[in-house]
Structure 1
Amino acid sequence: MARALPQINTKFKGAVQKTEQEKKIAELQAEVEQLRAVSAPELEAEIEKLRSQIQQSSGEVEVDVNLIDPNPNQPRQTITGASIQNKARLLKKHGQITSVILVPYKDNRYMLLDGQLRWEAARFLGWETIRAVIVPQPQDLEQSSLLTFLGFEDLNPLDKVEAIIKEIVKTTDFEESEISTTLATVIKRIERDSKVKELAKLIDVSSEEQQQGLSELKVEGAEQDMFLILLELGLNPVSFRTNLMPMLSLPQDLKKAIRSNGLKGAHALALSTLTATSLKVLEDTALKERAWATDKVLKKNLTVPETRALIKEIKAKYLKKEKTESKEIKVVIQKINVLTQGTIEGASTEQLTELKELLEQKLAAVNQALN
């Protein structure tokens, strides 16, 4: 990604203020000592509550895994059994290195803001608790989740684009079906004005400068709202349209391969060219060829160029090389058409015999070529 995402700092501002934490801890510890001095048994429950507050204020706390719920609107929709087992092996070998991030939920429960794979792996291992940092719930939980997940390199492009589209629909007046067309129209206008570089520069400036820059590029109103969302997420709108938007049009079998088998986006786009139309075959045949090619790409871990070479081989099986029209044949056809019945009847027997033999030889060659 081109830059850090400044919005994340403001979303969790209340969670990592070191000086304020230390002050709060000192106050809580003093309160515990006052309660201890009273030595009243009925105050033990209150002391335990304060101990819990001290743990939370210090940054990390052990949370019962059964009190945690996944975020239903998180961008990562792809968590396979294999990925959970891989993460479980790492947790078992190295322990939990990074805390999960939770927000207070309801009925004394917590919702995951970051760390679902670690949480799933901990449950797989039978852990009773997991180390967590509890932060205040952001005003916009969905956008905070999106900002968090966009920083992960392993977030697949399909999950990423679907989450971004959802954010655009929620924040602007656009319907999902309008986004692609509007984005393409505005970018084409910017390209026509040779202002693409000016658009790319807006990724690294403040929100105010982004808004001013878009106005100078004649991107106003609802169009500007859409572009501001992409820029806030650290995305170049041109790159988003070229590299991510096509993911939405992939056939279902390739979307499943991305989510379940880890197929890369660039490979999926290449494989998507194996269609019934391009191969000039029935849909079932095209699907079988695409499934076979996808399986080979995954098993052999093919690069994108290698994948394209494989696709070229498959297409060569179905598509015969188109032959250009022969000028010589065209001339011969014209001359034969000139031969009238009178011309033929007026020729000698020797000429007609020679013509017949020649035509029969050429007719045999034509049949062979056609077959």
Structure 2
Amino acid sequence: MPKSNKPSVLGMFAGATGSQQIFELEERIEQLQAEITRLRDERVNGELAEQERTRLNQTIEELREQLKASGIFKIHYSQVKPNPKQVRQTFTPDSIHSIAVSIREEGQQEPIILLPGNLIFDGERRWRAVGQYLQPEIQTLDAVMLPKELSDSELHALTLLTSLHREGLNELDLAEGLIQQAKLAFEIEQEEVVKAVRRVIARLNAKKLLPQLTELVSATRVEQSERIKEFELNDTERNVFLLLLRFQQNPASVDANVFPCLRLPEDLKTAIRGSGLGANHARSLQQLNPKNLGIEETEATKIRQNATLQVLQERLTVAQTRSLVTKIIAEHTPEKKPKPNHQISSLIRAVSATKVDNIQQEQLFDLLSALEAKAEEIQKKLRDTTN
């Protein structure tokens, strides 16, 4: 896929973060950068994700077959414990209900995989389906047990990989999963992770090194560790970037599309997790805030929630959602008056302060003629405006 040498929208403004004008445009710039990055990386990331999904599915199937040999057992659903390191937080009712129907009609096709202590490693949606929809007719699940205890970091990394490449994660779950993994693996907090990625992407973009970064996504772990030295990263930046690359995430795409979801208001996060609202839809709806609407937080939240409900019920596209948001903001924003012309204000003050006592008669006639001509022009403008 051909790469563009043009600077990104974000990179063009990277050196002006202190400007008030840029601060006000930040959210719009972020949206544009997300779209640019998505279009650039969509094909290559899709191919990589599919390859990794296939590889991981094969690995899990091989593991399941090995565990089957050691014995499948029945376990009551109430004895199974959800994984506290589960990356996937979005379990939509439709998804769980669909699995429940399948289990009721076809039976449980694959056992769930448990860790010591009956902690779920793979199969949480099957467990939820039995607990939520299949009582009392089905109360037990087929299960196999992994014999190995895992550290918090290992467990989280494996569940993140499983969720990423078997079914994919929405951007919100992915963002929170990556942040949690950085904290477990390196004790790096969320704000530090986000700032490190943003800082390096701006720097690499200025040096036109983003294509090399994209190439690293599909490289081996050894190649990634070696080639990333070219970017001259500090320890925190290096750890964060190697972590993202481990999970085959392009840091530029994470910066533009994934981490912004962390700043979404809670009502939109809830809509993503509970109702399947798309992240791009949510970022458009995020514009319905007190600042843009000129109202209090409580009222703005109510308007945003109603708009979210409309988007979900009418299944609006991202473009239609943006149009809806623009319309709502226009309805709640009073018409702005033109800013005062400072040149005219200065002229009025100068004319008012001018003394005519010591001015020659010829100049007085010239001044009067000029003022009369301008007065006639002003009166005509006022009549046109009134009409």
TM-score range, shorter chain: 0.7 to 0.9
Shift of 1:251: 1.2
Q: Which residue identity is paired with 1:121?
A: A
CA contact (8 A) 2:56 2:165 kept: no
Partner deviation per Cα, 1:256-283 (whole Å, 9 max, x = no partner) = 2112222111100111112211223332
2:130 equivalent to 1:122: yes
Provide the residue aligned with 2:12 in structure 1: none
> Helix, strand or coil: the match of 1:131?
strand
2:146 equivalent to 1:135: yes
2:113 equivalent to 1:101: yes
Shift of 1:365: 6.3
Tell me, in whole angstroms, the C-alpha distance in 2 between the residues paired with 1:266 and 1:203: 23
What does 1:11-30 correspond to in 2, within 5 Å?
15=63
The correspondence for 1:293, drawn from 301, 307, 325, is: 307
Tell me, in whole angstroms, the C-alpha distance in 1 between the residues paired with 2:189 and 2:54: 28
Shift of 1:285: 3.2
Tell me, in whole angstroms, the C-alpha distance in 1 between the residues paired with 2:85 and 2:163: 12
Q: Which residue identity is paired with 2:130?
A: A
Tell me, in whole angstroms, the C-alpha distance in 2 between the residues paired with 1:159 and 1:9: 20
What does 1:139-150 correspond to in 2, within 5 Å?
139=150, 140-150=154-164
Moved more, 83-92 or 119-128: 83-92
Q: Which residue identity is paired with 2:63?
A: A
> Helix, strand or coil: the match of 2:148?
coil
Distance 1:300 1:133, change over 3 A: same
Provide the residue aligned with 1:45 in structure 2: none
What does 1:28-107 correspond to in 2, within 5 Å?
56-57=68-69, 60-81=72-93, 83-105=95-117
Moved more, 324-333 or 274-283: 324-333
Q: Which residue identity is paired with 2:218?
A: D
Tell me, in whole angstroms, the C-alpha distance in 1 between the residues paired with 2:160 and 2:110: 19
Tell me, in whole angstroms, the C-alpha distance in 2 between the residues paired with 1:61 and 1:129: 10
Provide the residue aligned with 1:303 in structure 2: 317
Partner deviation per Cα, 1:229-269 (whole Å, 9 max, x = no partner) = 11111111111111110111111221121122221111001
Provide the residue aligned with 1:236 in structure 2: 250
Distance 1:327 1:167, change over 3 A: closer
Partner deviation per Cα, 1:163-194 (whole Å, 9 max, x = no partner) = 21011011114222211111111111111111
Report percent identity of matched pairs: 31
Provide the residue aligned with 1:29 in structure 2: none
The correspondence for 2:227, drawn from 213, 231, 248, is: 213
Tell me, in whole angstroms, the C-alpha distance in 2 between the residues paired with 1:311 and 1:191: 31
CA contact (8 A) 1:5 1:234 kept: no
Tell me, in whole angstroms, the C-alpha distance in 2 between the residues paired with 1:359 and 1:206: 74
Shift of 1:79: 3.2
Tell me, in whole angstroms, the C-alpha distance in 2 between the residues paired with 1:181 and 1:233: 19
Partner deviation per Cα, 1:97-141 (whole Å, 9 max, x = no partner) = 343222222xxxx11111111111112302132223433336322
CA contact (8 A) 1:172 1:225 kept: yes
> Helix, strand or coil: the match of 1:174?
coil
CA contact (8 A) 1:138 1:144 kept: no
What does 1:243-282 correspond to in 2, within 5 Å?
243-282=257-296
Q: Which residue identity is paired with 2:147?
A: P
Count of aligned residue pairs for this structure pair = 321
Taking structure 2 as the reference length, what is the TM-score of the superposition? 0.70
- Structure 1 residues without counterparts, runs of 5 or longer: 22-55, 348-353
C-alpha RMSD of the superposition: 3.9
The correspondence for 1:197, drawn from 187, 205, 211, is: 211
Tell me, in whole angstroms, the C-alpha distance in 2 between the residues paired with 1:6 and 1:86: 23
Distance 1:220 1:10, change over 3 A: farther
CA contact (8 A) 1:103 1:136 kept: yes
- The higher radius of gyration belongs to 1
2:119 equivalent to 1:111: yes
Shift of 1:288: 2.6
Shift of 1:339: 8.7
Distance 1:328 1:197, change over 3 A: closer
CA contact (8 A) 2:268 2:282 kept: yes
Shift of 1:362: 8.1
> Helix, strand or coil: the match of 2:121?
strand
Distance 1:358 1:219, change over 3 A: closer
Tell me, in whole angstroms, the C-alpha distance in 1 between the residues paired with 2:376 and 2:122: 82
Provide the residue aligned with 2:335 in structure 1: 320
- Structure 2 residues without counterparts, runs of 5 or longer: 1-45, 366-371
Taking structure 1 as the reference length, what is the TM-score of the superposition? 0.73
Tell me, in whole angstroms, the C-alpha distance in 2 between the residues paired with 1:6 and 1:223: 30
Provide the residue aligned with 2:5 in structure 1: none
> Helix, strand or coil: the match of 1:130?
strand
Tell me, in whole angstroms, the C-alpha distance in 1 between the residues paired with 2:200 and 2:183: 17
Shift of 1:214: 0.7
Shift of 1:305: 0.4
CA contact (8 A) 1:11 1:138 kept: no
Provide the residue aligned with 1:165 in structure 2: 179
